[in-house]
Amino acid sequence: AFWWIVIYWLVNITFAGTALLILYLSLYFALFGLLIRGCTRKTTPYALFFIPSVWVLLEFARSHLLTGFPWALLGYSQCPNLIVLQVADITGAWGVSFLLIFANTAIVEIIWSAKERLWPRFRITVALLSVLISLALCYGHLRLSCPLPAGERFFRISVIQGNIPQELKWAPGAGGYILDQYSYLTQEAAKGSPDLVIWPEAASPALLGEDAAGFSRIFALGRKIATPILLGAVVKQGKDYFNSAILLDSRGEIAGRYDKLHLVPFGEYIPLKEFLPFLETVVPIGDILPGKEYTVMEIQNPKSQIPNKFGVLICFEDLFPELSRKFIKGGAEFLVNITNDAWYKRTSAPYQHLQASVFRAVENRTYLARSANTGISGFISPQGRVISTVRDASSREIFVPGYDTLQIAMKKRQPGFYTRYGDLFIILCILLFLCGIIRFPKLYKPCAKA
């Protein structure tokens, strides 16, 4: 029921595939129930740590097994609650999920121990909950009260939201209209003198390496506005195809290219295609190859004469924190997410997708710019604030065309804790889980008596 409510919008692509995915995702909830079945109200207070550890480890497993599906992590629910999500720069999103499960487990324990008049357990649980919540809130307040570091230089970015319906994106004869739309919005944005203009994923209707005429128009636009453009495009190289981000310099020439590393299973390729050929009849499959390098893009800013570096996350790559970390550790000073959520119509999908970008910004303490075909496009601060988004006159953020521009402060800095060390919190959860396994006889004994 939970997964049908959360990812119902996938039926716009495939009903059968959605049903299979939901059955698979539901197994993690079943496994959670199986692993904590001995943690009754009569068990030791250690369950306060064991239960959230199990939840976090299952979220981590879901995010990696079978290429991973880290959508709708429990911690993502706290995106509007900025003070709570600041701890993500130490623990990642996993720490926020842990905090929520711990708090809910403690509330149940507090109610039960008060009802049974077990006042020592009541006081211990209240103390543990108070300490953990206080630490999280104090740290969040500290991070939010600290001003963002002053920039050594400034970089002005414009994100374009073309609002091209999915059924039109690859329709024969639609290429001219699509380029007209992006050309108009880009020239309007260029009036604000940006240092970089960003188009969404697969924004170009022309394939690089196949449609020279179509791409020549994009090159000409780059020369006309004399501003670098980052655009999503499908690249044909020999017989192979890549989902790529292409950087054009101010002369309209290709200055960089990043090929998407983490492809969408059953959308851009079929896992184990040789063994499961029938899956081609279940879901629409692309024929895309993954990239091989964490390419950090670089722009020579004429205002400062200092190169500005950034990493690009294509489509749902912003769901995988290790990708963002590697870009930042590789020298990127800010992150860019280009995506196309037009597949999912007017649903909650783009809002859910935005949550992942918020956490990537906080985890790495960096600005993140988003350019989405039909929304949500805009900018996220290093503290997780959605600073601004593309909107129409009635404040609608999805399925509206437009652009948004923001000047961000650029400064060389050392990577933060999570960026540098990654998922150390997962190791802590593993240790708590293993301790629970050792204590299983004690955990299950009260259950057996009951």
Q: How far is the CA of 395 from the CAs of 369, 381, 390, 400, 402, in angstroms?
A: 19, 20, 9, 10, 12
Structure tokens at 229: 């453009």
Decide: 48 and 105 in contact? Cβ < 8 Å.
Answer: yes
Concerning whether 146 is annotated as a catalytic residue, the answer is no
- Phi, psi of 15, deg, nearest 5: -75, -45
- Phi, psi of 296, deg, nearest 5: -95, 120
Give CA–CA dist 229/329, Å, rounded: 24
Decide: 252 and 222 in contact? Cβ < 8 Å.
Answer: yes
Question: What counts of helices (H) and strands (E) characterise the chain?
Answer: 15, 12
Report the largest interatomic distance among the alpha carbons of the chain, rounded to a whole angstrom: 79
Give CA–CA dist 402/390, Å, rounded: 6
Q: Report long-range pairs for 294-298 (Cβ below 8 Å, ≥24 apart).
A: 294/261, 294/323, 294/326, 294/327, 294/330, 295/256, 295/257, 295/258, 295/259, 296/327, 296/330, 296/331, 296/332, 297/230, 297/245, 297/247, 297/255, 297/256, 297/258, 297/332, 298/255, 298/256
3-state secondary structure 221-274: HHHHHCCCEEEEEEEEECCEEEEEEEEECCCCCEEEEEECCCCCECCCECCCCC
Residue type, 68: G
> In angstroms, how far is CA 23 from the centroid of its own chain?
23
Determine which one of 39, 59, 79, 201 is catalytic. Answer: 201
Concerning whether 273 is annotated as a catalytic residue, the answer is no
Determine which one of 39, 109, 169, 260 is catalytic. Answer: 260
- Phi, psi of 235, deg, nearest 5: -110, 130
Which residues are within 8 A (CB) of 154 and not within 5 positions of it... i.e. 6 or more apart? 303, 407, 408, 409, 410
The enclosing H or E element of 364 equals helix 349-364
Concerning whether 260 is annotated as a catalytic residue, the answer is yes
Determine which one of 39, 59, 109, 315 is catalytic. Answer: 315
Where in the sequence numbering do the catalytic residues fall? Answer: 201, 260, 315
